[in-house]
């Protein structure tokens, strides 16, 4: 499962759908558009659909996800987006599809008509296999398996690398200094393009007024130029922000250059740099750098898994790399970039890696490697002694005194006891409020204070006029004072409807007496 929970655009998707997401991209001027792919290779989109960028065949916004039929089964390997926005992707078969805004021919189809559905980009690419795509604000570049770069779209600053400033309506090979050279990595700023060769050399072209090409000047370049200042330094990855560039070396060092008004170069000041500058990372070896052409935010990941961020972070200018608690550079952009878009295509590892929490959840009630089972209402629940001892003091004491492989439970129902054991594996409960009452009883009996709080929250969320008295009775019985007060106030605020329920009619005499007395003091019976 891909964790997309930090991106608000996915907030309304049901949990069962979120669990199926394998790839995702969040984009748009307010991070309000998204495309995602499920484990079944089905593609979906949701959001505002500016310029038809969702690829759904229309320009209607959608708060619920809709299927992109033409992309289903395509196996996406690279996806990028522009400011329009326009979107471009490469498939595992080496094909390129583009759609969305096309005012500058950034879709590569020879026209300036917007594309409402993904269309194959074929001109000059028909016999080529593309492995990576990158978009600037309104231009696109693509990398082939042969190490060739093709570019098309907006070219006011030379970002297409054609030697002119005329827009390029269809894919054209970027040659000049890249002729007979093998490119292994590409990136785009808003109006510039970058390429890394297999020998570690780095080239840049396009807009350069902030020094984002790293050439030591501020002059635009209409063809690729080698960054001479990196001579002898082997670059393995380059990324571009709005107007700045980050480069990672094979030794784990990070260089930066370009615009720096938000501290995005990580140099400790806000002065632009036209030449690559080594960032002080306190001797930590970096394995990844991250930036996005829509923002002034920078991030990097260390060999030990720590994530640092700097630049524009939710409006603040952070001039030095700042250590975060995140485990992924993606989290930096989800939580601190403006807009909070993805800096690359989010993907789950192909090896089906599971976290510790996910692994434990999968093994709950699985007989394959369990060493203990509970028999409740004639049904078995399979668990692991070690985990129960770690998670619950009751079981630590119980299992230290017995070697039994089967334990019968008569005090609680199967539904309640299974929910309790599942909680020990997942830290969550999934019960309707009426059943959560039984779990509240168990939590009280076993002195599981956190579980007791979770039960109370579940009950609060599920209270209605019909069950309010039942829940109030349970709160009194299990001495859940906060819940009791909540249920009482709800009952008083809906007094007419509550007093007409069967549960109110059957209420315990003493509880009814206390309820009427307290409600009277609360002013419930005043005209």
Q: For the chain, give the mean pLDDT.
A: 93
- Long-range contact pairs involving 10-17 (C-beta distance under 8 Å, separation at least 24): 10/34, 10/36, 12/63, 12/64, 13/46, 13/65, 17/65
497: its two tokens: 């409807």
Q: Note the pLDDT of residue 250.
A: 94
Q: What is the pLDDT of residue 479?
A: 82
Q: What is the pLDDT of residue 426?
A: 92
The confidence score (pLDDT) of residue 282 equals: 86
pLDDT value at residue 525: 73
Other Cβ atoms less than 10 A from the Cβ of 295: the count is 22
Instruction: Please tell me the predicted confidence (pLDDT) of residue 526.
Output: 67
Angular region, 216: left φ>0, alpha ψ -120 to 50, beta rest: left
Q: For residue 399, how far is the Cα from the chain centroid?
A: 41
Residue 352, pLDDT score = 53
| Residues of the chain predicted below pLDDT 70 | 1, 349-354, 526-527
The domains found in the chain, sorted by start residue, are: 1-166 (2.130.10.30), 176-338 (2.130.10.30), 356-522 (3.30.710.10)
Cβ neighbours of residue 401 under 8 Å, at least 6 residues apart?
none
- Sign of the alpha-carbon torsion through 322, 326, 328, 332: negative
Q: Are 216 and 257 in contact (CB under 8 A)?
A: no
CA 368 to chain centre: 33
In the structure encoding, which two tokens stand for residue 49, read together? 């659909």
């Amino acid at each position: 499962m891909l964790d997309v929970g930090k991106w608000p655009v996915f907030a309304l998707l049901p949990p069962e759908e979120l669990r199926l997401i394998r790839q995702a991209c969040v984009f748009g001027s307010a991070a309000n558009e998204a495309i995602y792919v499920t484990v079944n290779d089905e593609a979906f989109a949701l959001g505002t659909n500016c310029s038809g960028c969702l690829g759904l065949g229309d320009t209607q916004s959608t708060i619920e996800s809709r299927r992109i039929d033409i992309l289903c089964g395509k196996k996406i390997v690279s996806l990028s987006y522009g400011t329009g926005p326009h979107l471009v992707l490469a498939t595992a078969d080496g094909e390129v599809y583009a759609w969305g805004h096309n005012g500058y021919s950034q879709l590569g189809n020879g026209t300036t008509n917007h594309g409402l559905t993904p269309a194959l980009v074929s001109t000059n690419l028909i016999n080529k296999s593309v492995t990576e795509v990158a978009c600037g604000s309104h231009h696109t570049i693509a990398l082939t398996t042969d190490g060739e770069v093709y570019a098309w779209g907006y070219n006011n600053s030379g970002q297409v690398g054609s030697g002119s400033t005329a827009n390029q309506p269809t894919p054209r090979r970027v040659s000049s200094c890249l002729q007979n050279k093998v490119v292994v990595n590409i990136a785009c700023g808003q109006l510039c393009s970058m390429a890394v060769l297999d020998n570690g050399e780095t080239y840049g072209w396009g807009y350069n007024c902030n020094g984002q090409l790293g050439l030591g000047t501020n002059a635009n370049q209409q063809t690729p130029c080698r960054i001479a200042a990196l001579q002898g330094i082997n670059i393995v990855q380059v990324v571009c922000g709005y107007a700045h560039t980050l480069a990672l070396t094979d030794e784990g060092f990070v260089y930066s250059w370009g615009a720096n008004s938000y501290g995005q170069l990580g140099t400790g000041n806000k002065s632009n740099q036209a030449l690559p500058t080594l960032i002080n990372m306190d001797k930590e070896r970096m394995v990844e750098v991250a930036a996005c052409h829509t923002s002034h935010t920078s991030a990097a990941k260390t060999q030990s898994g720590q994530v640092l961020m700097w630049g524009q972070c939710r409006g603040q200018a952070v001039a030095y790399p700042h250590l975060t608690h995140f485990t992924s550079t993606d989290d930096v952009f989800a939580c601190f970039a403006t807009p909070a878009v993805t800096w690359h295509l989010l993907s789950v590892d192909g090896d089906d890696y599971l976290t510790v929490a996910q692994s434990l959840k999968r093994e709950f009630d699985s007989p394959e490697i369990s060493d203990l089972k509970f028999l409740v209402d004639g049904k078995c629940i399979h668990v692991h002694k070690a985990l129960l001892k770690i998670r619950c003091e009751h079981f630590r004491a119980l299992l230290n005194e017995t070697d039994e492989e089967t334990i019968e439970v008569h005090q609680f129902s199967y539904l309640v006891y299974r929910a309790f054991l599942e909680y020990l594996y997942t830290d969550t409960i999934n019960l309707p409020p009426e059943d959560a009452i039984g779990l509240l009883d168990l939590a009280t009996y076993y002195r599981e204070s956190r579980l007791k709080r979770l039960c109370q929250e579940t009950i609060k969320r599920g209270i209605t006029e019909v069950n309010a008295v039942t829940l109030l009775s349970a709160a009194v019985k299990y001495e859940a004072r906060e819940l009791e007060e909540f249920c009482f106030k709800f009952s008083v605020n809906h007094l007419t409807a509550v007093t007409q329920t069967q549960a109110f009619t059957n209420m315990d005499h003493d509880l009814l007496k206390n309820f009427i007395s307290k409600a009277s003091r609360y002013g419930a019976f005043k005209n």
